[in-house]
Amino acid sequence: MLDGPFYTLKAAWESLTKQPGGRVAVTASVSGAVGKVAYTSAKHGVMGLVRVAAKEGVQHGLAANAVPPGWMDTGLMRGQLDEVAAKKEISTEEVIAQFAHTSRGIALST
């Protein structure tokens, strides 16, 4: 979960820092549930990676941002509906209404 952003940024770093105006956007996560140690640790690692890229890249005119998309309508999230609903004290239908959806890999929010 951290390998992809790390190796992608590492491979692109030289090109990104050669000319001003480079931009990096990395998908992060708003999820950090108890019992999901590997996932949560990796996503905290992504945030740290982006912070360092932003600090080191600023001298080259490079900006780096992490984008946490929120709840996406995926099989993984559908499997956690009851848990999320109980935690938020709302119905599963209300949780589904808060999902963002994708179309051809593009996130859409209603």
Catalytic site residues?
A: 39
Q: Left (φ > 0), alpha (ψ -120 to 50) or beta: where does 61 sit? A: left
Q: Kindly compute the dihedral angle of the four CA atoms of residues 1, 69, 107, 88, in this order, to the nearest 10 degrees.
A: 110
CA distances from 101 to 23, 60, 74 (A): 25, 35, 8
Contact 69, 62 (CB under 8 A): no
In angstroms, rounded to a whole number, what is the distance separating the alpha carbons of residues 29 and 47? 9
